[in-house]
Structure 1
């Protein structure tokens, strides 16, 4: 006979040698151990059955909680909070994650803007507190996650947005505290938007809306009645991205667009032409990086920062500039009156800096500008690379070298119809690669009077410019060229670059004599008239036959009068009456 306990085996012979008392003790302990093992096995079976039962209950419990019964309440709460009808589709509940899934969500737009939805999404996840839901059937929201929402923003001609009325109130109908108290108490621990798409357009406009994708946002401790932190990233039309992080709130119950916020902002690779921020007809284009801050108290907004522009183009006929332009700006805006003031606008092109100041105001769908640009003693070499961006084409193969340019310009009108006007002065520069002497020397009137030189040196040049979409005009042109003399005149440049200038060249070194000849007071030797035609890239110089004939006739008349009257001044002084 053998007795097995634990892993020890004894034979009867061995037991007898141990002694009867000790053998009985071993047998008793073996029996107790067997009973313990049997109890543990039964306990393990019971525990396994209990765990299985709990798992079955946990799996089956959502089947007994009809989460869809909460749908009317959730729709009602959201409708009350947003002031917009909210529609929810089929709902599901996950006990392990504590999430409620909702399909086919739709939030209506303000009917004054559109009958289409303001937001749609295939699904969203709503985090809830499980225990209150199971035992008290109370729905406590801990978080909301929106998956791939489609959001449509529309702007009216008066400047209001379709999200301005979110919250259920407007300027004409203030919120009722008794009715809005529940919605004002709404709070969400975490609100997320993942991979959204944002469409921005204008009401009743045929223009294609601008579409921004990859919208991702996160809001913590969201409340309608208090400030909350937020972060947002989005891809921009035509490439590039933007990032905002900061704080916002409390939500303005009368106009959500006037909710206070304070946010640092970074923009990379903004395509001006595709952004929708500028009118396509303006011809403005280029790539922009921006870093600054944007804040608002709901009525007054302020933007401060630095803009870096590459491949800038400022005219429909212009071409991208190879020069980088940097702008340091500070802008104050009255949101109620839609009026803004540029308090700082330092435009740097290399080491040259121009200053832009003034204001702007919204009128309908456009912005009307009233600005001043002061550009004192800017380097011509720096500006030369920017001329193509302005649509200014120099004669083919030529280039401006050296000297300075100063301008005091007024910029006025709507963005799509800007007019730039004011005096422009340039000194001590050279138009390299353009031989003005040879061009004029081909005309009989200049034969032997205009010296040829590969470059045209300009001692001083001034004019009054007026640049408009329909035509560019230059008046009071006065150019001093040592090799030629003083050239004066006026003319126009058409949008396609065609030139039409009437000029007079005074081939004199004495300016007083030249001035006298231009006014006809120098006898019959007046300045030589000519016209500049062709295009900016290929100008042509032709004799002004009409002006020449007029000068000849004028000289003949003056001589005739002086001969008859004995007036040696050429008929300028009045004849004395006999006493």
Structure 2
């Protein structure tokens, strides 16, 4: 009996020794010449294997060390991918019954380099077997199942655990003027329960360089079926401090997904944005429907449909609610807000004082290259503004645009104060209609291409910084023309038509009514604020008589007791210069003198012929005429 037990123990010891010696007795490297060409042909790449052997501990399986895939020589002579080790573990009990069941696959320290060359081609685009020669004549297309079908792919992935420990993925872009590198390192990847009928769980963690941005992905999908449809999936994506939730299903080539995020801050994005302060997006909700795989050649807006999109854009104390959709290749968006303060806007604005926009409503759409702002309305400074515009994208750079706008009841004074006019400003209630078109939005582009027409009217206001009557008195060297001691010009109406072209605003049919005068005229105002206006000032009787008493020669230009002054305004909007057109004024004086003299001569001749005037009366009438003309 003792001998039998010793014999059994000896056999077991020999079996254990044999099993432990298997990795050393069986050399799998001698089979490299058989499977290496197959792998190289499948990858269209040269490969290198340092060592491959069986493993007993920590689990039964095989270990491949020093696995390397070389890059396409047209891109680089360096490796495309390498692994410190590939470990495959199999289950023992099924093996005893003649079945190989993979329990675990572990990739240690994989290093992959994706490269885009100067021509914009990716090195991964040449991975895979070379295609067969093009047939001479087309043949009827016969649907063919992929080699092995989905069951074979699932059999290859039938594993309890797939893991990546460490590793690095590098993306090199050499197509730009300044080549850039992006690196994903500190990889952690774990995929569990990859079996038919089960729902695998996924964990991924990495760091995106050079931003030092942590990225995580956790979730599950399945259950796995032969067709690879996903009855449900749910993932939580973390990008730094940003969290996104993605859930849905993908069945029969149709994707139905829902995206949500409670909070996204621009300060947490990995790239620098041209913002002066952070912007938050709250309560992001989106529904996405698409077919997969996507059809080639489709425009971006036709790749998927977004029946519902909603979010809130938070800028300080200002909140804008955004809703939208993408249906049938057309994207639409509506934005609304009860109140927006420019102090909360995260971009620099050319304003000296913050202003408040109320009841904002914006409706816009995009289809193909046609972008349309169908409605923009808001209240500002007790007035209302409405606008619509269109733009053609992709046809040229910069893109052409057109638009029209109306303004009603705008209080002009506070608006100009917010813009920060230094010397000259205007108040009053303004209305305007505007139709413009152009190409580009920079000042050089607008100066060159902006063209359109406008109608402007301002009621019951004043021009701050200018007392036009005082300026007239200064030009004519007459003191006390204006009884107003303030540096302003009151008016009841200013109306004009405007035409914009070539960096100039043509002022047409200008009318300005005031207690002291009525002005009509035309001229130009440049985009550089240069003025060139010609006005005809028809002064009131009181002002006209005051000037005539101080300057007798002006009396000769009076007509119906009122003085009409031709006035030129040059300089700039902020520093205007005034000049009376003396040549035109002299011409009017000559006309008035000629008219009066001709009238007196006609009366004198008629009196002599009728005998009602004696020759000695002519001298007296001549003196009266001179006194009337020159005031003495």
Give the TM-score normalised by structure 1: 0.56
The alignment status of 1:240 with 2:271, answered yes or no, reads no
Match of 2:576 among 539, 556, 569: 539
Alpha-carbon distance in 1 for matches of 2:478, 2:351: 36
The alignment status of 1:128 with 2:159, answered yes or no, reads no
The alignment status of 1:423 with 2:423, answered yes or no, reads no
Q: Which residue of 1 is the match for residue 511 of structure 2?
A: 478
SS of match in other structure, 1:438: helix
Alpha-carbon distance in 2 for matches of 1:556, 1:151: 87
Q: Can you list the C-alpha shifts for 1:264-299, whole angstroms capped at 9, x where unaligned? A: 1222339xxxxxxxxxxxxxxxx9853211211151
The alignment status of 1:530 with 2:567, answered yes or no, reads yes
Q: Can you list the C-alpha shifts for 1:391-447, whole angstroms capped at 9, x where unaligned? A: 8x3635x662xx421111113223412446311111122345643322222121766
The alignment status of 1:322 with 2:354, answered yes or no, reads yes
- Higher RCO (CA-CA < 8 Å; seq separation 6+): 1
Relative to 1, partners in 2 of residues 1:532 and 1:462: Cα closer, same or farther, differing over 3 Å? same
Alpha-carbon distance in 2 for matches of 1:151, 1:231: 27
Q: Which residue of 1 is the match for residue 233 of structure 2?
A: 189
Alpha-carbon distance in 2 for matches of 1:99, 1:306: 48
Alpha-carbon distance in 1 for matches of 2:523, 2:171: 59
Q: Which residue of 2 is the match for residue 178 of structure 1?
A: none
Whether the aligned pair in 2 keeps the contact of 1:87 and 1:105 (CA below 8 Å) is no
Relative to 1, partners in 2 of residues 1:333 and 1:260: Cα closer, same or farther, differing over 3 Å? same
Superposition deviation, residue 117 in structure 1: 8.7
Q: How many residues align?
A: 411
SS of match in other structure, 2:167: strand
SS of match in other structure, 2:255: coil
SS of match in other structure, 1:322: coil
Match of 1:395 among 420, 423, 428: 423
The alignment status of 1:354 with 2:381, answered yes or no, reads no
Match of 1:293 among 317, 323, 348: 323
The 5 A counterparts of 1:17-166 are: 64=89, 65-68=104-107, 85=124, 100-101=164-165, 103-105=167-169, 121-122=184-185, 124-130=187-193, 132=195, 142-143=201-202, 145=204, 147-149=206-208
The alignment status of 1:268 with 2:314, answered yes or no, reads yes
Whether the aligned pair in 2 keeps the contact of 1:436 and 1:453 (CA below 8 Å) is no
Alpha-carbon distance in 2 for matches of 1:344, 1:476: 31
Alpha-carbon distance in 1 for matches of 2:563, 2:228: 84
Relative to 1, partners in 2 of residues 1:116 and 1:532: Cα closer, same or farther, differing over 3 Å? same
Alpha-carbon distance in 2 for matches of 1:305, 1:471: 34
Alpha-carbon distance in 1 for matches of 2:332, 2:187: 35
Superposition deviation, residue 97 in structure 1: 9.2
Whether the aligned pair in 1 keeps the contact of 2:534 and 2:566 (CA below 8 Å) is yes
Whether the aligned pair in 1 keeps the contact of 2:537 and 2:564 (CA below 8 Å) is yes
The 5 A counterparts of 1:147-546 are: 147-149=206-208, 185=229, 189-195=233-239, 216-221=243-248, 223=250, 225-231=254-260, 233-235=264-266, 237=273, 238=275, 239-243=277-281, 244-250=284-290, 252-254=294-296, 255=298, 257-258=300-301, 259-261=304-306, 262-269=308-315, 290-306=320-336, 308-311=340-343, 318-326=350-358, 328-336=360-368, 338-362=369-393, 363-376=395-408, 378-380=409-411, 383-387=412-416, 393=421, 395-396=423-424, 400=427, 403-416=428-441, 417=446, 418-419=450-451, 421-431=453-463, 434-444=466-476, 449-454=481-486, 455-466=488-499, 470-482=503-515, 484-508=516-540, 527-546=564-583
Relative to 1, partners in 2 of residues 1:385 and 1:477: Cα closer, same or farther, differing over 3 Å? same
Relative to 1, partners in 2 of residues 1:220 and 1:312: Cα closer, same or farther, differing over 3 Å? closer
Relative to 1, partners in 2 of residues 1:523 and 1:456: Cα closer, same or farther, differing over 3 Å? closer
Whether the aligned pair in 1 keeps the contact of 2:402 and 2:438 (CA below 8 Å) is yes
Aligned-residue CA RMSD in angstroms?
5.2
Q: Which runs of 5+ in 2 are unaligned?
A: 1-56, 63-86, 90-103, 115-121, 128-158, 212-225, 268-272, 543-556, 604-632
Relative to 1, partners in 2 of residues 1:57 and 1:524: Cα closer, same or farther, differing over 3 Å? same
SS of match in other structure, 2:342: strand
Q: Which runs of 5+ in 1 are unaligned?
A: 1-55, 76-82, 89-94, 153-181, 197-213, 271-286, 511-519, 567-579
Alpha-carbon distance in 2 for matches of 1:469, 1:100: 64
Relative to 1, partners in 2 of residues 1:340 and 1:509: Cα closer, same or farther, differing over 3 Å? farther
Relative to 1, partners in 2 of residues 1:413 and 1:399: Cα closer, same or farther, differing over 3 Å? closer
Whether the aligned pair in 1 keeps the contact of 2:384 and 2:410 (CA below 8 Å) is no
